[in-house]
Amino acid sequence: MDLRYSSAMTEVETARLLLRRWQDDDLEQMVALYADPQVSRFLSVDGSSWPRERTLGAFEHFRRQWREHGFGPWVAIDKRTRRWLGQIGLNELPRWPGPDKVEVGWDLHPSVWGQGLATEGARAALRYGFEVIGLERIISTARADNAASRRVMEKCGLVFQEEFTHKGALVAWYALDRGDWQASQMAASQ
């Protein structure tokens, strides 16, 4: 995978994506994304759209992670059209019940689903997490009925761990250890 990092590691470019840190004017795009019923059906226990206040909380959480940890979800921009697509990246889950609390995740506009963009961005985030941040393990979570996200996890090399009820929803979680990721990178380069 050919990735280009910008200075201060705030941007990553993949073949089709520009992944960058959050700016003030991204909030309204994020509010619209999480209000979309196709997106929110997998984000809430009851599938309802997020209220503006909840999205604002997530927006501030994403930005705070960059300030405090040097990573977080990125805004995903289509390199060709410069269109705002959603978010992809690493996200700390402080209330996750397991010991590993950094996940790779994505929420993209439905018009770009099925094009491999989540996989492309997630692979870049995994590489960033293991090579730049030095994480030992990265997880990924989704509602158990979100087959598309589960396929992305598998394509990225994450391994199924279990399903259980978390915050009132049946979730599936996957994980990838740095050693396994490094071995897969070595095998792919040969």
Q: If pLDDT is split at 50, 70 and 90, which confidence band does 9 have? A: low
Whole-angstrom Cα distance, residue 151 to residue 22?
Answer: 27
Structural domain boundaries enclosing 167: 4-189
Does 5 score more than 50 pLDDT? no
Whole-angstrom Cα distance, residue 38 to residue 48?
Answer: 10
Show the tokens assigned to 78: 């289509």
Does 115 score more than 90 pLDDT? yes
Show the tokens assigned to 172: 């599936």
Long-range contacts of 158-163 (CB under 8 A, 24+ apart): 158/104
Whole-angstrom Cα distance, residue 185 to residue 190?
Answer: 9
The continuous run of DSSP H or E covering 121 comes out as helix 117-127
Note the Cα 29 to chain centre separation in Å: 17
Whole-angstrom Cα distance, residue 182 to residue 177?
Answer: 9
- Give DSSP secondary structure letters for 75-93: EEEETTT--EEEEEEEEE-
Residue-wise pLDDT tens digits, 42-93: 887 777 888 899 999 999 999 999 999 999 999 999 999 999 999 999 999 9
- Determine the average pLDDT of the residues in 87-116: 95
CATH number at residue 143: 3.40.630.30
Q: Give the pTM.
A: 0.92
Residue-wise pLDDT tens digits, 129-179: 999 999 999 999 999 999 999 999 999 999 999 999 988 889 999 999 999
108 phi/psi in degrees, rounded to 5: -120, 155
Total domains present in the chain? 1
pLDDT at 8: 52
